[in-house]
A and B are shown apart, each in its own frame.
Chain A
Amino acid sequence: MFLEKKIFLLKQSIRMKKIMVLLLILVSIKGINAQTAEELINRVRMKLDKVNDYEAKGKMRTNVIFIKAPVANVKVYFKKPNKLRINNENGISFIPKGSVNINLNNIFFNSAAFTIIDGGKETGSGNRILKLLPEDEAAGVVLSTLYIDEKNAVIRKAKITTKESGTYELEMTYGRYISYGLADKFIFSFNTKEYKLPKGITFDYDDGTKKENSSDQLKNKKGRVELIYSEYKINKGVPDAVFG
């Protein structure tokens, strides 16, 4: 009889503990969901602020409709506040304008004060959508739309609309360096303009190959640069001379 009572009390205690744990989880999830857009941005910024400088090795693949280019071995250097350089040390690479935005700090650096609009959650991924509108009318960036992974406080996707260079899109995949907010893989999409040179300059050989790219396709087509990092050296110091 005594034993039965003890078992009953033990079971009840376990049930209570389960309920408590569940409640705790619910409260914490509610807490995350409840964090304001400002709080979330601050968490992202704090993570990025941990990096004063870095040197990263990686491979860069350029995919632009009118360019055939090999995969390049690149070194990317960053130094606070917003110095960034992509170096192809044993070759030539076409580096798109706006590639400085692969340094995510740049999003906040260019707009010291901004209005945040909460766009809710993205269907599917569940990322929080925040739109940043710079208050400075002279700012080059008109609108930054960030898709933030709330759990890890990292930007998964960003769309940056500028006054002069159109819209850039960034997609980040995180791995080993997520604690610093540094991605292992970047996909940088950008607008390209029509490319054409007079045949009088190039004296092309017409080998009869039918070009798949019509002139319409060559106009205003999106270009893509894929950057896959293999290694980061974080906060080890980068000399200013690297940035020219």
Chain B
Amino acid sequence: MLKLLRIELFKIFKRPRTYIAFGAIAAIVILIQVALKYDGKSYVDLLLNNLSDSFELSDEYKNKLLNGYLICFVILNTLLIQMPLLVALIAGDSIAGEANMGTLRLSMSRPVSRTQYMTVKFLASVIYTLALLVWMAMLALFGSMLIFGTNDMVVFRSDGIEQMRHFDVLWRYFAAFGYAAVALTTVAALAFLLSVFAENSIGPIIATMSIVIVFTILSEMNIPLYDNTIKPYLFTSHMVAWKGFFYVKADAMGTTINGSIENLPAILKSLSILFIYIIIFFGTALCVFRKKDILT
């Protein structure tokens, strides 16, 4: 099983297109960092527009606000749409790519059960996803900390502002990246499932992206009809729960409680839902593949 996994990982990381994703992430992160380094004030002005009448918002204050922690949060927000595409590139290709190249039947002729084969294929996709995430964390978090420095972190929500002390932030990022790994694994599982039905990888990749985009739009729309009917069941509604680690509890005086999370049970619930999705997607892919007539 381990040997099979090594072979799969070798195949993934041998292909040049695998590194497109790493390059794309580096490009996006660096472009955002450069933009915010030289014109971050405009972005901060947009966020602080509502507060300028009530608070002193000097340039020094804005510079302090625009620290590495906030920049990383902005990058993670921006990559919300792009990351699933990059994950789907590999996961959507894992079975359909083999079928397209005509190597699937050959692989099945070896003394490896279909369950083992599928498990290894999926694990390889998950490892690729994790590698992508670690790469992004290094660039977005540690890179931003290096370029912009650190300070207290301020998170802007649509109806309020959350502020955390600088020493209370890093563990939240580790938790958020851990959560994001599960969220992206859900996308990988979906692409993997769709990959089973296709004979070339374009179909599953585009289908995965279409589903993610449509679901994300539905998740972000504020329409009462969908709020309690569709939204709670869409995996995209729960993919953004990493942000919950940056929503803090406050006492009666509005003072942040260090080390607190506003609604941990909600995050755990979202996490469970994502795990259920992963099990459903992978389980379905496994069932379908075990019964599938492999003709190519």
Contacts and interface: CB of A to CB of B under 8 A. Distances in A.
Given A62-B254, A200-B220, A209-B262, A69 B159 contact: no
Interface residues of B, number: 51
B51 A194 contact: no
Contacts of A205: 240-244, 247
Given A91-B166, A196-B158, A203 B254 contact: no
A208 B227 CA distance: 11
B75 interface: no
Nearest to A90: B166
A205 B273 CA distance: 15
A112 interface: no
Interface string B41-78: 00000110011011110101100110000000000010
A91 B54 CA distance: 20
Contact of A203 (B77, B250, B263): B77
Interface stretch (B22-30, B101-109, B148-156, B279-287): B148-156
Contacts of B250: 68
Interface in A197-217: 197-209, 211, 213
A68 B222 CA distance: 25
Nearest to B163: A69
B50 A198 contact: no
Most chain A CB within 10 A, of B65, B160, B222, is at B160
A205 B241 CA distance: 6
DSSP majority for the B interface? mixed
A97 B53 contact: yes
B198 to A, nearest CB: 31
Contacts of A203: 77, 80, 220, 240, 243
Contacts of B119: none
Contacts of B47: 197, 201
Nearest to B261: A207
Contacts of B266: 207-209
Contacts of B263: 207-209
Contacts of A70: 152, 163-165, 255-256, 258
Contacts of B158: 196-199, 201-202, 204
A202 B156 contact: yes
B243 A204 contact: yes
B98 interface: no
15 contacts: A65-B254, A66-B161, A67-B163, A70-B163, A95-B61, A194-B50, A196-B158, A198-B158, A199-B222, A203-B220, A204-B157, A208-B266, A213-B160, A223-B54, A244-B60
Given A91-B165, A209-B263, 13 more contacts: A67-B254, A68-B248, A68-B254, A68-B256, A91-B151, A91-B152, A91-B166, A96-B54, A190-B54, A196-B159, A197-B50, A207-B262, A209-B266
Interface of B: 46-47, 50-51, 53-56, 58, 60-61, 64-65, 77, 80, 151-152, 154, 156-166, 220, 222, 231, 237, 240-244, 247-248, 250, 253-256, 258, 262-263, 266-267, 270
